[in-house]
Amino acid sequence: MAEPSTASGACLVVGAGDGLGAAIARAFAAEGLAVCVTRRPRHVEELEALAASTREAGREAQAFGLDARVEREVAALVDRIERDIAPLEVLVFNIGANVRFPVAETTTRVYQKVWEMAALAGFLAGREAARVMAPRGRGTILFTGATASLRGGAGYAGFAGAKHALRALAQSMARELGPQGVHVAHVVVDGAIDGAFIRSITPDWEERLARDDILRPDEIAKNYVWLHKQHRSAWTHEMDLRPWSEKW
């Protein structure tokens, strides 16, 4: 069993991959929050490495395998954080689910799976966070969006539909929870984010990264922390981030 937390609060990052999710976790850990990172159970080994490296830096971090599409798992994890770690102060929903298929080749299974990952899971995580934050009158809920949150590109029917739904969820929650003291924000990340996936599909990634044509995860994460620390007299609901050279 882990030692009792000494942190004043916890940050839950749902979808802590090797790039942005990991950077967000490290950024909030540096702010003194006990960070809880999740990915699907098959990625637990990678998650444990992230948590271990965060602890080696003198921060608090724990890893949890989670299927964020399953209601009982999400509710149980939030209860566990509240009971065993610290009050949940920040939720970051960061599941991507980016797939591309021509619409005639988009199966019902693909469309539904993308929706479950990017929209349903966002609802479940957001609802469970709101359940514990609203009674305390404080907390921050941050949703990671994409270009597809604003416009549906050719070949992205499933992804755009799910990301549009997530954006609408964020808007609805912000209007409901803001007056209760809970800050809800949606971050549109417009462009390629440095990480293993982008490096695997971008032959000139080193040159593009050197030119700052690719979003750097640590720089994005700084903005998530800034959103959390905003004074409630001047909350941002939607922020968009893109490289200086990105067309939009």
Whether the predicted pLDDT of 182 surpasses 60: yes
Q: Enumerate domains of the chain plus CATH numbers.
A: 10-241 (3.40.50.720)
Does this model's pTM top 0.75? yes
Output helix, strand, coil percentages for the chain, rounded to the nearest 5. 50, 15, 30
pLDDT tens for 199-228 read 988 999 999 999 999 999 999 999 999 999
Confidence at 1, pLDDT banded by 50, 70, 90: very low
Whether the predicted pLDDT of 2 surpasses 80: no
DSSP calls for 40-64: -GGGHHHHHHHHHHHHHTT--EEEE
Least confident of 1-10, 27-36, 111-120, 121-130: 1-10
Average pLDDT of span 91-110? 91
The rounded distance, in Å, linking the Cα atoms of 162 and 234 is: 29
At position 241, the amino acid (one-letter code) is L
56 close to 28: Cβ distance less than 8 angstroms: no
